[in-house]
Amino acid sequence: VATTVNNQGKASISFKIEQTIFDQGGQAVASADQTGLSLQAGETKEYACDLRVPDPRLWSLEAPNLYRLVTSLYDGPKLVDRYETPFGMRTIRFDPDQGFFLNGKRVELKGVNSHQDFAGVGVAVPDSLNEYRIRRLKGLGVNAWRCAHNPPSPELLDACDRMGILVIDENRLMGINPAQLEPLESMIRRDRNHPSVILWSLGNEEWAIEGNIKGARIASTMQDLTRRMDPTRRITVANSGGWGGISSVIDVVGYNYIHQSNPDEQHAKYPN
């Protein structure tokens, strides 16, 4: 657990952090105290600790088991802040020859590219509609949701966590300036505790840079930032053509419009 604490007061402060993990039944299964901590006025620091959960119930499509981390910050005996983080425990990996694995089991991704808006409500989608869509999609055999083409609402990801559907979480604009990198960083920081998220997508159909060195450099810079913030997931970009630029450096190649691509040829050229 890594917790960022900011002292917004006008004086230095001594404090402790209590971390407790609860299972779905509300039973505490792990805890840790970090004591003797201090921050100067206006200072921000990250505090890390390890918690061991015995016999964890893994998050999967069939059994989306969730845990809850409660972080409590005390100034002496006084509770001054409390934050809850839902999360799930699972392993994910992409193999260049065999595909995607969840908890060591190969899973064929059968997904939809879904924009957030819905008839009659625009993007102000009620929670019940998110759950309705997921239920209908799962009934059709769908197990993966690609967010198009911007970060989704947190409520959608919460529903995917609860109902067991995999997510490609997509950033809007590609670039290396603060105007592009700060929203990407914000998305990863906000969404990286969702067990449903299996891939970060850096962008969609950036036609002007897909197939050239500029695209490769931009994608590499964004991918490096993403890896620093979350080393547990792979990274993709949705390409519509222009092979050899972005697709030559990205972790997991994304293909839009299969008739414009030759995945076998691409795989032979970039076997990893």
Residues forming the active site: 205
* DSSP string for residues in 19-73: EEEE-TTS-EEEEEEEEEEEE-TT-EEEEE-----SS---B-SS-B--EEEEEEE
Tell me how far apart the alpha carbons of residues 180 and 194 are, in angstroms, rounded to a whole number. Answer: 23
Q: How do 67-75 and 13-22 pair as beta strands?
A: antiparallel
Q: How far apart are CA 121 and CA 166, in angstroms?
A: 24
Alpha-helical (H) ranges within 192-262 are 213-229
Are 34 and 48 in contact, with CB atoms under 8 Å apart? no
Give SS3 for 177: coil
Residues pairing with 170 in the sheet: 201
Query: Which structure tokens are listed for 244?
Result: 């050899």
Q: Which of 106, 105, 162, 153 is nearest to 134 (CA)?
A: 162
Task: Give the tokens for residue 203.
Answer: 């962008």
- Report which DSSP code applies to 121: T
Contacts of 20 (CB under 8 A, 6+ apart): 28, 30, 31, 69, 70, 72
